[in-house]
Amino acid sequence: MQKWLTLLKERPLAQAALYAAFVVVTALGVYLSDKSVVSFLLLLSSLLLLYYTAFSNGVKWIVGGVLLLIVIPFAASGGASHESYMEVVTQCGIYVAMALGLNIVVGFAGLLDLGFIAFFAVGAYSYAIFSTPQANNFISGQLFPLGGAWFWLFIPIGGLIAALFGVLLGLPVLRVKGDYLAIVTLGFGEIIRLVFNNLSKPVNITNGAMGISSIEPPSLFGYSFTFPHQFYFIVMAILAVVLFAVRRLEHSRLGRSWKAIRENEIAAQAMGIPVIATKLTAFAVGASFSGMMGVVFAAKQTFIDPTSFTLVESATVLVMVILGGMGSVPGVILGAAIVTILNLQVLTELTNWFNQLTLNGVVNIPAALSPSKMQRFIFGAILVLMAIFRPNGLISAKNRKADAEKLKAHRVPAPVPASQSAEQSGGAFK
């Protein structure tokens, strides 16, 4: 075994062949069977494997793109479960973007935010209110509803409004630190939800607890998007933008300022980093990702109400970040994918299986034990165990290591190609 592995490590070609074999086998498994959650999950895990292969970064991006845009949609389209597979990956994509947003606030800047779902709500409501007659209640002229073509414009608008709210929430950071900040953000998140829930009088803005229904699905040149496999591509496009932004930001001056503030605020200030502005941008950027996905969520659900934006949702996103590894982009993506799939597929399937067993009288499993009820238990356990045993998460954050020789040679600091980044783990919270 040992010998094989060394062999494998030294031969990129062999690795490539094995990897390709894996993708083909799992993809065929998904394509040919009507419903096989296991092979679908394995197909998704090929993305994780890709991260660990020895290919150069450019190749990884290309292969990843091909997998996401061609292989996965195609493989899923084979069986009867096409839409349900796509629903799962679409939701994964939405949560990945949100987790990446929260990662900027918690992971990079070290500001614990327990009200993150509020921004998602803001994005969702901004599209919902204007794409339905709801907006006529407070804007005169019967201009609404706007058509589904406006959806595309609302993605940036939703992001912008959410960013605005991010700054608004960020204002307390001028005064509050540490776990106080966490409590303030929690309070803020609850206030937003309660206000959305109650704001049906004196002016009916959010339609209160009744929620907003019949939200326009997106349309492009008369072609309207209603099925999960269509939303999948919208989500992937936004995700690509988000990923690009995160990768660029992480190693920019701003990204380094965030990390500096996380490690030692006073030292950072002494080095001339504008602490307040830097923290506020972290809130704004993180919130904007969430807001964009909120718009997509509203269009996909066609109905939203305040019950979708509770504290448990905020905690879910936080669990994703903690599980994956604070500050680590690949980690957070992994964490978001694991938690979403766990919630949507694994727990539901397990529950159905238990129900079936109970109905058939094989064993009697009490309803209290049904796995889909155990969400809080699982999240709680993940948080405690990760905090104690792996505070850096599944894939811990790596800082890019500067190449001293090269720096000397160029004198002007040039960006180091990512392929040369050596392992230096444990940037976050060591």
Partner 1 sequence: MKVKKGLSLAMVTVIAAAMLAACGSSGKNGTEGAGNGGGSGSSLPVIKIASQSPLSGGSSIQGEAIKLGGQMALEERQDEFKQLGFDLQFVPYDDQGDSKKGVANAELIGADKSVLAVLGHLNSGVTIPSSVVYEKYSIPMVTPASTATEVTDRKLKAVDRIVARDDFQGPAGAEYAVKTAGAKNIFIIQDQTAYGKGLADSFQTAVKGLGATVSGYEGITVGDKDFSGVLNQVLSKKPDFIFFGGMYNEGGLIVKQAREKGITAPIMGGDAIDSSGMVDIAGDKLTDVAYSSVSTDITKSNKDWADKYTQKFKKNPENYSAYAYDAMNVILDGVKKAIGDNGGKLPSREQARDAIRATTDFQGVATKVSFDDKGDNKFAKVFIYKFDGPKYPGELISEVDPK
Partner 2 sequence: MISEIIQTLPQVLVDGLALGAVYAVVAIGYTMVYGILEFINFAHGEIFMTGAFVGTAALFLFRSAGWLGGMPGWTAYLLVFMIAMLFTGVMGVGIERVAYRPLRKAPKLISFISAIGVSFLLQDIVRFIADLRTGNFLVTGITLYGGNLKVATSSVWHVFDDAFIKTNTVIVLAAAVLLMIGLDFFVNRTKWGVAMRAVAQDRETASLMSVNVNRVIALTFFIGSALGGGTGVLFAQQYGTIDPYIGFTLGMKAFTAAVLGGIGNIRGAMFGGLLIGLIEMFASANLGIITGGSFGAEYKDVVSFLILIVVLIFKPEGLLGRAVKEKV
Q: Which parts of this chain interact with partner 1 (CB under 8 A)?
A: 1, 4-5, 8-9, 18, 21-22, 25-26, 28-29, 32-36, 38-39, 42, 45, 49, 52, 80-85, 87, 91, 197-198, 200, 208-211, 213-214, 226-228, 301-305, 307-308, 344, 348, 351-352, 355-356, 359-360, 367, 370, 372-373
Rounded to a whole number of angstroms, the minimum distance from the CB of residue 430 to partner 2 is 9
- Nearby residues of 11 by Cβ (< 8 Å), 6 or more positions away: none
The pairing of strands 212-213 and 303-304 is antiparallel
Q: Which of 210, 84, 248, 231 is nearest to 155 (CA)?
A: 231
Please check whether residue 228 is in contact with residue 86, taking contact to mean a CB–CB distance below 8 angstroms.
Answer: yes
Rounded to a whole number of angstroms, the minimum distance from the CB of residue 426 to partner 2 is 13
**From partner 1, partner 2, none, interface partner of 406 (C-beta below 5 to 8 A by class):** none
**From partner 2, partner 1, none, interface partner of 266 (C-beta below 5 to 8 A by class):** partner 2
Rounded to a whole number of angstroms, the minimum distance from the CB of residue 182 to partner 2 is 6
Amino acid at 59: V
State the residues that interact with partner 2 by CB under 8 A.
106, 110, 112, 114, 171-172, 174-176, 178-180, 182-184, 186-188, 190-191, 194-195, 197-198, 201-202, 266, 311, 315, 318, 322, 366-369, 373-377, 379-388, 391, 429
Phi-psi region of 225 (alpha: psi -120 to 50; beta: other; left: phi over 0): beta
**From partner 2, partner 1, none, interface partner of 188 (C-beta below 5 to 8 A by class):** partner 2
End-to-end CA distance of the chain: 35
**From partner 1, partner 2, none, interface partner of 28 (C-beta below 5 to 8 A by class):** partner 1
Please check whether residue 427 is in contact with residue 259, taking contact to mean a CB–CB distance below 8 angstroms.
Answer: yes
Rounded to a whole number of angstroms, the minimum distance from the CB of residue 360 to partner 2 is 22
How many Cβ atoms from other residues are within 10 Å of residue 138's Cβ?
10
**From partner 1, partner 2, none, interface partner of 307 (C-beta below 5 to 8 A by class):** partner 1
Cβ-defined contacts of 4-9 (< 8 Å, 24+): 9/54
Phi-psi region of 222 (alpha: psi -120 to 50; beta: other; left: phi over 0): left
- Judged by beta carbon, residue 348 or residue 421, the one nearer partner 1 is 348
**From partner 1, partner 2, none, interface partner of 35 (C-beta below 5 to 8 A by class):** partner 1
Residue 202: cis peptide before it, omega within 30 degrees of 0: yes
